[in-house]
A and B are shown apart, each in its own frame.
Chain A
Amino acid sequence: DQQVKQNSPSLSVQEGRISILNCDYTNSMFDYFLWYKKYPAEGPTFLISISSIKDKNEDGRFTVFLNKSAKHLSLHIVPSQPGDSAVYFCAATGVGGATNKLIFGTGTLLAVQP
């Protein structure tokens, strides 16, 4: 049973436009959410996180939105750059993030076209 779902395996956007990556979760005990980015032949790198007490967190070009009632979060990248092309994983955990047992989605491959 996939508790964290990324239903879009891939997404293609033009450079300079907005990229929106979506993630749904089923476990209402999740209270901390993270996004990781992964380039080929490298390990995932942390992008941004959000606690369930917030509905938005922003870091430069990256903004994560959390809709607890819909059990949905999204990552917005504005403006998108070719270097953003990578696989993006959303992840969730409980206990306020004080655990390293993260439940990951299956990832979305983002391709930013020049």
Chain B
Amino acid sequence: KAGVTQTPRYLIKTRGQQVTLSCSPISGHRSVSWYQQTPGQGLQFLFEYFSETQRNKGNFPGRFSGRQFSNSRSEMNVSTLELGDSALYLCASSLQGAPGANVLTFGAGSRLTVL
């Protein structure tokens, strides 16, 4: 079956612009999470959506937002881009199962460069 698909894979923006990233989860997966990966910081949790509702949020400023559609596809938006937003943005999907069963399947990521 198809994996988690993220678009675009690479993009370059300038400071002050905004960006929207898209994620299509594995068919049947209802939970979508977003992570930011930067050198030296590992993966940092941004937010999680389940059934179109934000279920969890990480410690990121309000410039970072997201949403989930009825077909479980998700988008995240970053407004007023800063140089420090340059990162690999990873989307992950999972089934909603028993505790311990929520193994995340990650997409390949969207590499954002802010100039």
Contacts and interface: CB of A to CB of B under 8 A. Distances in A.
Are these two chains actual partners, yes or no? yes
Interface size class of B (residues with CB under 8 A): 20 to 34
B41 A106 contact: yes
Contacts of B101: 97
B42 A49 contact: no
Interface in B75-115: 90, 92, 94, 98-109
A90 B45 CA distance: 14
A100 B94 contact: yes
How many residues of A sit at the interface, in one of the four size bands? 20 to 34
A96 B48 CA distance: 17
Interface string A44-77: 1110010100000000000000000000000000
Nearest to A93: B102
A98 interface: yes
A29 interface: no
Contacts of B11: none
Contacts of B104: 44, 46, 100, 102
Interface string A75-111: 0000000000000010100011111111111110000
